[in-house]
Structure 1
């Protein structure tokens, strides 16, 4: 059995839909409101759990509040077969919360209140050392404190576990952090924050990827939305196109991509085939509303 480990955030998502996203100073009446389970870490864990094969175990390390949202999350994730032994309950804190605005084109703007996510510490990560020792792949994001992210990457490398960083939300990272990453998966905005290079075409994507390779990262995958993903390995880059679909909601599209990518790589797929698998999973997610509710099951990709 393989052990796939996701470390990261969990949020209760308050989703409001509009024809167009509100501008600064503008008040709009939402067409619809719904409460969804989200958070980049949780979304990626759910994606991995739904897309895995029978020989893969999914573990999730996270910090939740002592509230009803946390109880709902635990019940839902357990139904997807995620091992929650690494999930902490933070006393007197709310579970992370996000407010998401979505327009008729499926584009979104998101504001996040970290809540318990901000209390996932390096000490919490260290307490899960035995889990890192058995993990084959670890997937992590940037919605938890950077010291916990760096500790997780350090532990994973110590135990020869392949590390995947989805550098979201966008942030500039130190060389010390970047040097611990085997595979990085920024979108265009995140690639700009990391490299200082605006990604507008394949040439600029290549330059941004080269900067990240120089930091010690072996594989760079810049996700490009409906255009697919730019894959760069050992200085050789190519666009891997995504299936053409009618997008209605892009929330959790990137998270679905990352969870699917980890599953496919663990199965022994080539990096190109793994990106194609991830593109296909993500393309299904954008045709549905919601975060975790939009993430497909493996049987839907066949």
Structure 2
């Protein structure tokens, strides 16, 4: 195993220069005119019970949450944020598409499957702020995204037109049949070979893999070699690899071919790693009570990519991402209310060291 040197964050030339791959990716994103970031996955109707007889309806999904927060954080920059998925032809599907367009999310890469609809989930708060979920997604059109008749042409278009491509292990898990998963892996391979920036979150939901960590690890082994920026959590990797030591987790990511890893470590902050070098970026203390962990990781990912797109160093982008995640943790639901947008954008301001 490689020995890993790590430091606590100081934004010096020495530590910044250690992340050559991330710095090069930042330049590629910054120089695109305009950058086109495509997020691939599923968005569902969200039901949040407010009492025994009332509930709030919304919509969310890990890869959509990423696109939503990236659009908010880059609102003052000419950037195209697109969401790639499949919907039905029903009322809810059309409502979702209209809502995304209203929020400035590009819908160029959406297919419609008349035999399917959108998924739905019920989210209940636990006392610690985490969530318990109940999913209804068997008839979700997004599960067929890579196996519809029009899929091959759209996949080719996504690779050709995108500057960066983002997806997750949740997307991998929900795709129907191994053919769909193989096509997502192949999209990443083609994108990487074409010079696109490839980004992947290891979001691990045991139920989606029938509690089979071996199957999940198999597919991670297939896709990670084509990923530029891997965005796991220590909790996810510990479940998949069945080890808890951070050094071992990072070593396993390197073994699978990861060039740059930004490991989210909850209250401990995050850790940026390239090769044998890593830096710990401490978290930001919460201003108020932790209300809901939903989408905090997705917002963190969006802030990392937004920060790099603006030309910030990896360390600065990680610091900004910690602060953005802290804002999201203090609001209920996956998507914070519009009234909290100012706080989010203030958190995203680059620090003066």
| TM-score, normalised relative to structure 2 | 0.74
Distance 1:244 1:30, change over 3 A: farther
Distance 1:65 1:189, change over 3 A: farther
Unaligned 5+ runs, structure 2: 1-33, 176-180, 206-215
Q: Secondary structure at the match of 2:37?
A: strand
What is aligned with 2:10?
none
Deviation at 1:194, TM superposition (A): 4.1
Distance 1:100 1:234, change over 3 A: same
Q: In proportion to residue count, which structure has more helix?
A: 2
Which structure has the bigger radius of gyration? 2
Deviation at 1:32, TM superposition (A): 5.9
Q: 2:80 aligns with which of 46, 53, 57?
A: 57
- After superposition, the CA RMSD in angstroms is 2.2
Distance 1:218 1:280, change over 3 A: same
Q: Tell me the number of residue pairs that the alignment of Structure 1 and Structure 2 aligns.
A: 286
Structure-2 separation of matches of 1:104 and 1:175: 35
What is aligned with 1:40?
62
Deviation at 1:289, TM superposition (A): 1.0
Any idea what the Cα deviations from partners look like across 1:132-185, whole Å, max 9, x if unmatched?
Answer: 223222111123322343133123113211111111234323433221111111
Query: Contact 1:125/1:152 (CA < 8 Å) preserved in 2?
Result: no
Unaligned 5+ runs, structure 1: 18-28, 199-203
Structure-2 separation of matches of 1:178 and 1:64: 27
Q: 2:225 aligns with which of 179, 192, 217?
A: 179
| TM-score, normalised relative to structure 1 | 0.86
What is aligned with 1:105?
128
Query: Contact 2:234/2:249 (CA < 8 Å) preserved in 1?
Result: no
What is aligned with 2:18?
none
Q: 2:273 aligns with which of 207, 226, 232?
A: 232
In the TM superposition, what are the counterparts of 1:251-266 in structure 2 within 5 Å?
A: 251-266=294-309
Query: Contact 1:137/1:163 (CA < 8 Å) preserved in 2?
Result: yes
Distance 1:103 1:236, change over 3 A: same
Structure-2 separation of matches of 1:66 and 1:279: 39
Distance 1:61 1:86, change over 3 A: same
Q: 1:69 aligns with which of 73, 80, 92?
A: 92
Q: Confirm whether residue 138 of structure 1 aligns to residue 165 of structure 2.
A: yes
Q: 1:190 aligns with which of 216, 236, 246?
A: 236
